[in-house]
Homo-oligomer: A and B are copies of this chain.
Amino acid sequence: MKRIFLLALLWLQGGLTTHVWAQTSDEPQTNYVDLVNPFVDSHRSRWFFFNSACRPFGMVSLSPDTDTAQSWGSGYLYDSKYIRCFSHIHNWQMSGVAVMPTVGAFRGHRGMDAYQSAFTHEGEVAKPGYHKVQLTDYDVTAELTSTCRVGMHRYTFPASEESYILFDTGAYLAHGPTAYSEVWPIDDYRIAGWAVMQRTGRRPKDTPVYFYAELDKPIAEVVTWSEGAVRRNTLPERISGKDAGLAVRFATKAGEAVQLKVAISYVSVAEAQRNMQAELPHWDFDAVRNDSYAEWNSWLGRIEVEGGTHAEQVKLYTDLWHALIGRHIVSDASGTYLDLTGDAPQIRQIPCDASGKPRYNHHNFDAWWGSHWSLNILWSMAYPEVMDAFCNTMVDMYRNGGLIPRGPSGGNYTYVMIGDPAVSFFAAAYNKGIRNYPTEEAYEGLVKNAFVGGIRDHAGYEHNADAHSGGMRYYEERGYVPDGRTDVRGMHTTGAAMTLEYAYQDWCLAQLAKKMGKMEDYARFMRRSQNYRQVWNAESGYMQPRGVDGAWLPNFDPLELTERGGFCESNSAIYTHYVPHDMPGLISLFGGPERYVARLDEQFRRGEPYGFFRSNKHKEGNWTDYGNQPGTGMAHLFNYAGAPWLTQKWVRRVKAAYSDITPYGGYRDDEDQGQMGALGVLMAIGLFEVDGGCAAEPYYEITSPLFERVKIHLDTRYYEGKTFEIVVKNNSAENCYIRKASLNGQPWQDCWFYHKQFAAGGVLELEMGAKPNKRWGVNPPPSSSEVF
């Protein structure tokens, strides 16, 4: 077991500029980068899952693409045999700028199937900020690194008169075709271009991506193609249209390295060029890679651990890395960004600080659906400035387009999933004191979202401005959204799930209102937050869908996974526990803690043989599901029913079921842009917030950490303390139960403590044992559900 020290932690101003990693101790420096394994579970998953040459939330995520034909099962897949290109954008509904070195007869115009290369895992390196891989068909060694907005390539070629670098600007990349692209050489060393990503069912408008590239070797010849027709030219020659691209040819000597820098922007080629000027004016590849490592070490090192197995540490930092990478920046170094919310595209500017730098960055992201059990907690603890950036992105979109978004992409709304999960994000931020955004405007937008015409009123991908499939009229009038509605459009038109989520979101809004002193709103939304009771069927003991006529829908099956069942990507068995804001109320519906614990424990016992993962083949596995958000808070609920030892037990067992660090496991289903990673971190360090940290006075629940010591470095711009430490004695896989605890040296009997105690800094000491201490932690966390 390796002792881990954090030697230097330089808080990053704005979090995204590079810095020098300085050693301040004689102890060897912990290299968190080496504890991250990007290959974990890379045999499958989505376009944006795999990011190697990428900074935290980097606008550029440059990595090899083995598969490009769809959004799912694409990007870098470990078992694929061929690399088709190295592309720069692996984002929710966004992709772009495919580059590929080739050697020998030109095949660029014949598409990726023709110019792809076999590759080998032998000698392959993938780390946060670096990728090295051998293209065996071409005898080319490709190395990739990046700054936030610039990808840097180093291709070591064999001796050849025909060494090429292809810019396949017209390529089909994951989410859809490229509708149009234009690319041109500026001079012997520079290339620029842009492409229009065709709209998809999710991202409803064509979206441009611009790039500006520099080479460190003069171009000998330019080759362009369009719709299969190839044309060889000397400079200058440009190409545009459909299926267009440009390649540059050089003569290379054996072992000659050619370097390439590619900056991107969603605003203009000029902004892409400014991004390169701002971030990467030089040609020192190794310096960029080392800066990237240093930046990653700084970010990853905010959570320091000792103990646990090496595999557990690898999984922890791989999880943490996923939580810090999936939701990429889309604004420029200058602060310009593309706004596609309105009638027409607009270029807008993020406000700048006194030094002329943008005060925050805009991000592109899938919905916050379920993030109250993952990202919201993790970021608000250790990365509060990230919360600010996302809050600002959303408030700017409210200003621009009239709605706080649910999963914005391409500078526009996508209406992915259901409800208004952003309210839990804002409530956690605001109630923990993270408030560097226009808070009143944010509140105004969140209130708008909670009524007819707000974002809840849009079902999944229901882009129509007049959309109502989110059923807010029903919710306002009846307190629930019925299922079996015939007038719905979009996806996920699951009334029972909507009802439960809306009730939780009403409570989040109430807690935000309370903290802001808006006591009338507080009362109003607290009342609505009890609406979860509208879908509780006391006879069956389940949350159940109701029809438009108010009656329970017939043929109820708690394990039914289809949308017909009324629940969103899940079932009644799981959603029945979805009352994160009023666990005392839910428990009383069950008839008290004993009955509730019995049911919940039984579900875990029935789910365990299936790895706590839903099964499409074996319905009997569907009692738990840690492969999708609705089920990811369940193991923590025992804390609310006086049985914290069962939370301790099941959290450890779930964690073990997701402990794989090979390319063939670790997340099982969709990692979902850092959500499963963040959940993994929270489980591993032994803290959680079932209510998403949204209570007016937020608090953390204590679970069973994997490690001997966890030290969270607090951001002193936000929090008073410097570190919050968890010291875990006598910990092991068997000794998973908390025997006793102390906080700052004083005995601690509760299975929870307040955020203000966390923010002040301190030490939580846990003593573990192989048997539960059923007297410790039996008082449930504070209920914020006073009745109105």
Contact = CB atoms under 8 A, between A and B. Distances in A.
Interface of A: 179-180, 182, 184, 186, 190, 192, 196, 198-199, 204-206, 210, 212, 235-236, 238, 240-242, 268-270, 272-273, 342-347, 463-465
Contact of A206 (B240, B268, B269, B344): B240
Contacts of A463: 236
A199 B269 contact: no
Contacts of A180: 179-180, 196, 241-242
Contacts of A179: 180, 182, 240-242
Given A180-B180, A242-B242, A270 B345 contact: yes
A687 to B, nearest CB: 45
Contact of A343 (B199, B273, B342, B465): B273
Contacts of A464: 235-236
B240 A344 contact: no
Nearest to A182: B206
Given A242-B242, A465-B236, A346 B199 contact: no
Nearest to A346: B270
Contacts of A236: 463-465
A198 B241 contact: yes
A196 B240 contact: yes
A225 B196 CA distance: 18
B344 A270 contact: yes
Contact of A344 (B205, B212, B465): B212
Q: Which of A186, A344, A346 has the most CB of B within 10 A?
A: A344
Contacts of A343: 186, 190, 192, 212, 269, 273
A107 to B, nearest CB: 24
A281 B309 CA distance: 71
A468 to B, nearest CB: 15
8 contacts: A179-B240, A182-B196, A206-B240, A212-B344, A236-B464, A236-B465, A268-B346, A270-B342
A238 B199 CA distance: 9
A756 to B, nearest CB: 46
Contacts of A204: 238
A347 B196 CA distance: 19
A227 to B, nearest CB: 10
A274 B12 CA distance: 41
Copies per assembly:
2
A286 B190 CA distance: 53
Contacts of A206: 182, 238, 240
A270 B204 CA distance: 19
B345 A205 contact: no
Given A182-B196, A236-B465, 7 more contacts: A179-B241, A180-B196, A182-B206, A192-B344, A210-B344, A268-B345, A270-B346
A600 to B, nearest CB: 45
A134 B343 CA distance: 33
A172 to B, nearest CB: 13
Contacts of A242: 179-180, 241-242
Contact of A269 (B184, B270, B272, B344): B344
Contacts of A344: 192, 210, 212, 268-270, 272-273
A431 B180 CA distance: 48
Nearest to A241: B179
A311 to B, nearest CB: 48
Contacts of A190: 343
Nearest to A339: B270
Q: Which of A180, A242, A463 has the most CB of B within 10 A?
A: A180
Contact of A198 (B205, B240, B269, B273): B240
Contacts of A273: 343-344
Contacts of A345: 268-270
A549 B536 CA distance: 101
A282 B464 CA distance: 28
A192 B180 CA distance: 19
Contacts of A182: 179, 196, 205-206
Nearest to A464: B236
Contacts of A198: 240-241
Contact of A205 (B196, B238, B241, B346): B238
Nearest to A271: B344
A26 to B, nearest CB: 50
Contacts of A212: 343-344
A775 B599 CA distance: 122
A270 B182 CA distance: 23
A236 B196 CA distance: 20
A682 B198 CA distance: 54
Contacts of A184: 205
Contacts of A235: 464
A241 B180 CA distance: 7
Contacts of A205: 182, 184, 238
Contacts of A186: 343
A159 B179 CA distance: 38
A461 to B, nearest CB: 13
A196 B270 CA distance: 19
A30 B210 CA distance: 54
A273 B273 CA distance: 29
A184 B242 CA distance: 20
Nearest to A244: B179
> Which 7 pairs show the lowest CB-CB distances between chains A and B?
A269-B344, A180-B180, A186-B343, A206-B240, A270-B344, A179-B241, A182-B206
A344 B272 CA distance: 10
Given A182-B206, A206-B182, A240 B199 contact: yes
A240 B184 CA distance: 23
A192 B345 CA distance: 10
Contacts of A269: 343-345
A212 B198 CA distance: 21
A269 B212 CA distance: 24
Nearest to A191: B343
Contacts of A465: 236
Contacts of A346: 268, 270
A342 B184 CA distance: 12
Q: Which of A196, A204, A241, A465 has the most CB of B within 10 A?
A: A241
A272 B346 CA distance: 12
Nearest to A184: B205
A161 to B, nearest CB: 24
A346 to B, nearest CB: 6
A235 B242 CA distance: 27
A199 B235 CA distance: 16
